[in-house]
Amino acid sequence: MFNRPVFTGVATALITPFTKDGSAVDYDSLGRLIDWQIDSGINALVIAGTTGEASTLSDDEHRMVIDFAVKRAAGRVPIIAGVGSNDTSYAFDLIDCACQSGADAMLVVTPYYNKATQNGLIRMYTEMADRSTKPLILYNVPSRTGVNIEPKTYAALAEHPNIAGIKEANGNISKIVETMSYVDGKLDLYSGNDDQIVPLLALNGKGVISVLSNVLPAETVQITSKFFSGDVRGSAQLQFAMHELVGALFCEVNPIPVKAAVAAMGYCENSLRMPLTVMEEDHRQRLLAAMRAHGLDV
């Protein structure tokens, strides 16, 4: 049995930097980002997730990015590998690779496009958890995948000793309350939405898997640390203060804005892979203004 929780606080859903023409992963920039995030006090890193543009990484790149991050972090923070797929056999291969690389946990999104029934989700996640030597965090984001993990499905999956937690991004607080009524104490809850960090902490959540923390890692950690220290009002005030920046970071589909933001900070090229394209200029100016309001020199 693994130790729970996988992390408490903030895990950055890290971008994947590419070279200027987008043809290759920029490992020098990735290494600098990992070091900066850890030096800023982040509690964990998610590698090759949605924000990391995993869907356009080649098979080799996907494996190499995870392996690189594990080696670069060198045990300083947990590395959570994005291994989800709508092809379960391919997800098995990614799980095997991530476990061999030394990742600390797996983030497994629900199958997209071909979807699944709730029974299908239970079978898929059970077989993944049986196969993995590291704990699984289930990732529910129906706006992208077209399938929702229902509360009673979580309840069934909570009985598996290798399923550790859930990244919940369905946006439906009532459903999350229902879920936690079944699984509190059995699964750890992480917000998958930066505009709902404090509300989900109030439901006994353990933290957030964050896009915002790509830009403001230390400040995002403060939201959770204040809450856990008992300063709920202070935590909420920070959540309120981040509202405009969070809105700007999601005014186009993620990770278009956050890649533009990190590039403006000088950490990488503003390079994405099709079908994603660079941020529209009026949106970029809104983003830069919100970043400047938080003291960033962009």
Q: pLDDT tens digits, residue range 138-169?
A: 999 999 999 999 999 999 999 999 999 999 99
Hunting for tokens 């920029």 — which residue is that? 26
Instruction: Check: CB of residue 85 under 8 Å from CB of residue 57.
Output: no
Over residues 62-74, the pLDDT tens digits come to 999 999 999 999 9
Closest CA to 164 of 173, 154, 177, 174: 154
Q: Which residues are catalytic?
A: 139, 167
DSSP output for the chain = ---S-S-SEEEEE----B-TTSSSB-HHHHHHHHHHHHHTT-SEEEESSTTTTGGGS-HHHHHHHHHHHHHHHTTSS-EEEE---SSHHHHHHHHHHHHHHT-SEEEEEPP-SS---HHHHHHHHHHHHHH-SS-EEEEE-HHHHS----HHHHHHHTTSTTEEEEEE-S--HHHHHHHHHHHBTTBEEEES-GGGHHHHHTTT--EEEESGGGT-HHHHHHHHHHHHTT-HHHHHHHHHHTHHHHHHHTSSSTTHHHHHHHHHTTSS-----TT--PPPHHHHHHHHHHHHHTT---
Closest CA to 117 of 87, 150, 89: 150
Fold (CATH) for 9-221: TIM Barrel (3.20.20)
Extract the tokens encoding 250: 């999601």
Angle at 8 between CA 92 and CA 122, to 5 degrees: 35
Over residues 233-274, the pLDDT tens digits come to 999 999 999 999 999 999 999 999 999 999 999 999 999 999
Closest CA to 170 of 160, 162, 180: 180
What's the pLDDT band for 4 if we cut at 50, 70, 90? Answer: confident
Hunting for tokens 């505009």 — which residue is that? 195
How deeply is 282 buried, as exposed, middle or buried, from its count of CB atoms within 10 A (0-12, 13-18, 19+)? exposed
Share of the chain above pLDDT 70, in %: 100
Over residues 267-276, the pLDDT tens digits come to 999 999 999 9
Phi, psi of 11 (to 5 degrees): -110, 125
Angle at 82 between CA 76 and CA 83, to 5 degrees: 130
pLDDT of residue 272: 98
Over residues 162-214, the pLDDT tens digits come to 999 999 999 999 999 999 999 999 999 999 999 999 999 999 999 999 999 99
Distance CA 224, CA 206 (A): 9
Q: Is the pLDDT assigned to residue 13 strictly greater than 80?
A: yes
Rg, the chain, Cα only: 18
pLDDT of residue 118: 98
pLDDT of residue 1: 56
- Stretch 7-27: mean pLDDT, rounded? 98
Instruction: Check: CB of residue 170 under 8 Å from CB of residue 142.
Output: yes
